[in-house]
Amino acid sequence: MESPAHPHPAGSTVAADLTPQCVHCGLCLQACPTYIELGKEADSPRGRIYLMQARQRGRLPVAGSFAEHISACLDCRACESACPSGVPYGELVEQAREVVEQQLKRPFLVDALRRYVFGWVFPSPRILRIHFHLLRLYQRLGLQALVRGLAALKLIPARLAGMERLLPDLRGRAAPVELGAIFKSNGATRFRVGLVAGCVMNEIFAGIHHATIRVLQRNGCEIVVPSSQVCCAALHAHAGITATAQEMAKRNIQAFEQASVSAVIVNAAGCGAKLKEYGALLAHDPEFSSRARSFSQKVVDISEFLDGLPALSPPGRLELRVAYDDPCHLLHAQRIGQAPRRLLQQIPGLELLELQYPDQCCGSAGIYNITHPELSMRILERKVEDIKQCGPAAVATGNPGCLLQIGQGLRMADLSHIQVMHPLEILDRAYRSESFGNGRNPD
Amino acid sequence: MTVATSQPGVPRTEIRKELVALLDSERVLHTPEELLVYECDGLTLHSRMPDFVVFPDTTEEVLQIVRLACRHGIPFLARGAGTSLSGGTIAAEGGIVLELSRMNRILEIDLENRMARVQPGVVNQHVTRAVEADEFYYAPDPSSQVASTIGGNVAENAGGPHTLKYGVTTNHVLELQAVFPDGEVYRLGTAAGDPVGFDLVGTFVGSEGTLGIATEVTVRLLHSAPAVKTLLAVYDSVSEATQTVSGIIARGIVPAALEMIDKNTIQAIEAGVYASGIPQDAAAVLLIEVDGLEAGIDRQLEEILEVIGSRQAREVRVAGSAAERKKLWAARKNAFGAYGRISPNYYTMDGVIPRSKLPEVLDRIESLGREYGLRMANVFHAGDGNLHPIILYDIAQDDAREKVMALAGAILRCCMDVGGTLSGEHGIGLEKREFMRLFFSEADLQVMERLKRVFNPDNLANPQKIFPMRRGCGEMSSLSEDSRDRLSRSEEDPEFVRF
């Protein structure tokens, strides 16, 4: 068996053994989506921690079961909300993934693709945009229809076809927010805030950014979109690609320091969770540790920010039955559950419905739906069933992955009439409905 | 890591082939890497890896696996969520673990007749969740109820805070379907009412998997009480709290629950996600609940408040809303899981004593802890005298295991001295088997063992549980010495490497 005492490279976050806090009580089991689906101890938080301990003690090699069960984790962190002992599971699983990343040999092509995507595409907004342009072209030229036709004829591997189906339709989407732009407040400026543009958010969900900007302007904010910001690196950290994640974090810290803003506002739960953890990501960096901590303290989710205002500018009437779905990285990682609900409840005419399991993962989990499509779909089916039982006109959820995943789930279940929206889009619509005065959709 | 040498017995590879033929390869775990996580359960003091973990979906599959095991003389046992605190699901002699987590369907709900028929892998709390909209619930509520399964609850005869008034699992099981080691399926009891003839349900519930494997359980459902009041009494002294408990019981009041939580436990809970505002400097708190008809509820509460008033409670809070009540119970029920905040490991004991002896026994336990140099915590069902002394330790320290077991023995002797017994609700398992001799004579043990042999003549169903090893009293046996390997592992079986 290989040596368990794997030397930690400089800058690694793998340090103290955080696992002793787990007392093996098992109260986390039913919080874990993969345990609920598979019923296997090794696919539960308790089991995974046991594997981590076994690996640390040299009882278990990295390749094989360990790598498999660690990568099958959604990193949804619902177990953290259930754990009475406060085991920092998110940190533990990212450390374990770092070990897998460093020691596991992947097939050449997979490895090359991972290096390209994580090392080149995401760290550069420019290269990312080129890829999205290509994607748009692919859809506009009808190539997509062709590929889907071939998939139907089983001329393309099922796995690849499945991944292709996940592609969102990029035609007719709002133009991305320009990096470097500044948006003045409506009326007196009470706050100067920074907006995290993100990677996928700005390419696919720029409409949510525009809604966020309008709502902030309406509430006395001047919004800066720092030009040198990059992707938050949550995907990298979740995949255990720590060194790249640290470099990207540093660039973001510098970008927002230069913007001199009082708050760093993020409207994607996954990004928010990672940005709030920059302090931990760079804890051992002499130059950046304290800068990272003060940056993280400034990061607020948009719902948290608006909910914390002394008074929200009153929204207009919007007759809409909305079910709120908690993004895992908002509820479990940031402990924000009530703020978005309270915001929605301030909209006159809006009826807020509760799902039976609003706190359960939808199976999106970053790129999980690509790495583990089958399991991701099984988890999604539960979410769709819950929504179906609840019967809303719209589902509100504040994370791009969840928006795509739930949207796809509803389409597959012939429930496309249910809209999937970010809470800020709903709030924005309510503000804009004022001028129409009838609560109808102004779009 | 060593490769096990060839031993007499059935070739392991043969068994694997047969199991895969019965189920499919995805449902048969056989590599040590995959089996590792099944080497222990909620009790981490003992561990032993099984040879196989299999995932049956139906009673028929359980039956076929049990037949296979018996045909080859291989030990077998069932496992649900693996939350046993007595090592109930540790494969003491290896063999086959039947993981029933996927047999988790509620088969039938009959509200008119107040019962539900469920598979053994159904989580305790999910039974209540399925019927609560109609104001019904399943009464036994072990602290592990968010995770533990009905099958496991039946095996261990699980209790919980509300069993003070409503009884333990055995009082709520009407009928069982179970696979026995003779390779047959039998129905025990009747959903219609009290058992006719021998009370075989009563025999089976609490037998810790040594008689067979339940594959369907028909449980009683209760109608939710129209009125519930929950209060928290805060004390600066443990003895004032225990005197209050004795006072309430002496008055003949039967609360729905009467729980005590001590300072170390309060601090562990309040540091975490289940914090509910219990004062952290309190020496102890009592969590008391009364329920019943709207008409008499205030009178019950007043009587309890009178007793509390006669003792020195610092503060009494009556929960003002259902949400507040829920929060207090969440704090209480997650206490076990919260000890990780104050100690790397803990060991939960389960002794029962006459309630009048609470003050002196708690004092004695505290001084025993000091004597052995180990920190203690307490969270327990004070109302029925079911103690849970928690020994806090660090397994990394050299003699931790020996010290913990010695202290545990001393505490149990103390329970015995006042006329108590060694377990209230966690089962005996591997954990307490050597202490059985303290409480039962050789003849008592033999009569139990004779009963076991009627159903389980070859001792293949969950071996080594409950009964002490045939050796000197009080001596803790370690598993590695006792475990016999019943399967042969040849050199051609490269996957089998012992960790």
| CB–CB contact B272 A86 (8 Å) | yes
Q: Name chain A contacts of B269, Cβ cutoff 8 Å.
A: 84
Q: Name chain A contacts of B339, Cβ cutoff 8 Å.
A: 23, 85
Same domain as A116, residue A96 = no
Q: Is B132 on the interface with A (CB under 8 A)?
A: no
Same domain as A252, residue A230 = yes
| CB–CB contact B337 A83 (8 Å) | yes
Q: Name chain B contacts of A24, Cβ cutoff 8 Å.
A: 40-42, 44
Sign of torsion, CA B298 B304 B308 B313? Answer: negative
Q: Name chain A contacts of B34, Cβ cutoff 8 Å.
A: 42, 65
Q: Name chain A contacts of B31, Cβ cutoff 8 Å.
A: 65
Between A27, A50, A51, which is nearest B147 by CB? A27
Q: Which of A27, A60, A79, A336 to mutate to test the interface with B (most CBs of B within 10 A)?
A: A27
Same domain as A296, residue A215 = yes
Question: Which secondary-structure segment (H or E) carries B235?
Answer: strand B227-235
Q: Name chain A contacts of B56, Cβ cutoff 8 Å.
A: none
Q: Token pair for residue A208?
A: 């949510």
Q: How many CB atoms lie within 10 A of CB B223?
A: 12
The CA distance from B286 to B242, in Å, is 9
pLDDT of residue B471: 55
Q: Is A24 on the interface with B (CB under 8 A)?
A: yes
Closest by CA to B212, choosing from B182, B174, B190, is: B182
Q: Token pair for residue B96?
A: 């086959």
pLDDT < 50 regions, chain A: 1-16, 437-443
| CB–CB contact A51 B344 (8 Å) | no
B393 near B404, Cβ under 8 Å?
A: yes
| CB–CB contact B146 A27 (8 Å) | yes
Q: Which of B2, B34, B37 to mutate to test the interface with A (most CBs of A within 10 A)?
A: B37
CATH at A429: 3.40.50.1860
Structural domain includes residue A441: no
Q: Is B347 on the interface with A (CB under 8 A)?
A: no
Between B148, B337, B499, which is nearest A85 by CB? B337
Between A1, A24, A51, which is nearest B42 by CB? A24
Same domain as A93, residue A115 = no
pLDDT of residue B492: 42
Contacts 24+ apart (CB under 8 A), B404-408: B404/B45, B404/B347, B404/B374, B405/B45, B405/B476, B406/B372, B407/B368, B407/B369, B407/B372, B407/B374, B408/B347, B408/B349, B408/B435
Structural domain includes residue A172: no
| CB–CB contact A23 B334 (8 Å) | no
Smallest CA–CA separation between A146 and chain B, in Å? Answer: 36
Q: Token pair for residue A430?
A: 């309510």
| CB–CB contact A86 B123 (8 Å) | no
CATH at A260: 3.40.50
Structural domain includes residue A5: no
Structural domain includes residue A86: yes
Contacts 24+ apart (CB under 8 A), A277-280: A277/A237, A278/A249, A278/A252, A278/A253, A280/A13, A280/A91
Give the chain B residue whose CA is nearest to the CA of A23: B340
Structural domain includes residue A443: no
| CB–CB contact B1 A87 (8 Å) | no
Q: Name chain A contacts of B274, Cβ cutoff 8 Å.
A: 84
| CB–CB contact B272 A39 (8 Å) | no
CB pairs A-B closer than 8 Å = 114
What ipTM was estimated for this complex?
0.92
Give the chain B residue whose CA is nearest to the CA of A47: B37
Same domain as A124, residue A96 = no
- Which of A281, A307, A333 is where one domain is finished? A307
Smallest CA–CA separation between A336 and chain B, in Å? Answer: 13
Closest by CA to A239, choosing from A111, A330, A329, is: A111
- Which of A259, A278, A307 is where one domain is finished? A307
Q: Is B124 on the interface with A (CB under 8 A)?
A: no
SS3 of B87, please?
Answer: coil
Q: Name chain B contacts of A79, Cβ cutoff 8 Å.
A: none
Q: Is A85 on the interface with B (CB under 8 A)?
A: yes
Between B37, B147, B273, which is nearest A47 by CB? B37
pLDDT of residue B8: 55
Q: Token pair for residue B239?
A: 């003895």
Q: Is A180 on the interface with B (CB under 8 A)?
A: no
Same domain as A98, residue A112 = no
pLDDT of residue A239: 86
Q: Is A19 on the interface with B (CB under 8 A)?
A: no
- Which of A103, A133, A157 is where one domain is finished? A103
Please report the domains of chain B, with CATH numbers, ordered by start residue.
2-101+452-498 (3.30.43.10), 227-417 (3.40.462.10)
B31 near B495, Cβ under 8 Å?
A: yes
- Tell how strand A320-324 and strand A263-266 pair up: unpaired
**How many alpha carbons lie under 13 Å from residue A234 in its C-beta half-sphere?**
27
| CB–CB contact A27 B37 (8 Å) | no
Q: Token pair for residue B186?
A: 């039998």
Same domain as A194, residue A93 = no
Same domain as A330, residue A356 = yes
Q: Is B269 on the interface with A (CB under 8 A)?
A: yes
Smallest CA–CA separation between A241 and chain B, in Å? Answer: 25
Q: Is B271 on the interface with A (CB under 8 A)?
A: yes
pLDDT of residue A8: 35
Same domain as A405, residue A297 = no
Structural domain includes residue A175: no
Give the chain A residue whose CA is nearest to the CA of B80: A39
Smallest CA–CA separation between A110 and chain B, in Å? Answer: 25
Q: Name chain B contacts of A23, Cβ cutoff 8 Å.
A: 336-337, 339-340, 345-346
Residue B336: partners with Cβ closer than 8 Å, 6 or more residues away: A23, A25, A27, A84, B143, B144, B346, B348, B379, B390
The CA distance from A348 to A159, in Å, is 45
Question: What is chain B's Cα-based Rg?
Answer: 23
In chain B (499 residues long), the average pLDDT of successive 10-residue segments reads 47 94 96 95 91 98 97 96 96 96 97 97 97 97 96 97 95 97 95 84 97 98 95 94 93 93 95 92 96 92 94 92 94 93 92 92 94 95 94 89 93 94 93 91 95 96 92 44 50 41
Please give the residue range of the domain that contains residue A328: 320-433
Structural domain includes residue A314: no
Same domain as A136, residue A229 = no
The CA distance from B351 to B362, in Å, is 12
pLDDT of residue A84: 94
Smallest CA–CA separation between A424 and chain B, in Å? Answer: 28
Structural domain includes residue A12: no
B409 near B474, Cβ under 8 Å?
A: yes
Which A positions 50-69 lie with beta carbon below 8 A of chain B? 50-51, 54, 59-61, 64-66
Strand partners, B10: B487
Instruction: Give the number of domains in chain A.
Output: 4
Smallest CA–CA separation between B462 and chain A, in Å? Answer: 20
Same domain as A424, residue A324 = yes
A47 near B29, Cβ under 8 Å?
A: no
The CA distance from B286 to B305, in Å, is 12
Q: Token pair for residue A26?
A: 């098992």
Q: Name chain A contacts of B55, Cβ cutoff 8 Å.
A: 39-40
Smallest CA–CA separation between B34 and chain A, in Å? Answer: 7
Q: Is A1 on the interface with B (CB under 8 A)?
A: yes
Q: Token pair for residue A282?
A: 């760079």
Same domain as A343, residue A300 = no
Predicted confidence (pLDDT) per residue in A51-89, tens digit: 999 999 889 999 999 999 999 999 999 999 999 999 999
The CA distance from B134 to A82, in Å, is 27
Q: Is A187 on the interface with B (CB under 8 A)?
A: no
| CB–CB contact A85 B147 (8 Å) | no
Q: Which of A24, A69, A336 to mutate to test the interface with B (most CBs of B within 10 A)?
A: A24
Smallest CA–CA separation between A295 and chain B, in Å? Answer: 25
Smallest CA–CA separation between B30 and chain A, in Å? Answer: 12
| CB–CB contact B121 A82 (8 Å) | no
Between B1, B34, B44, which is nearest A24 by CB? B44
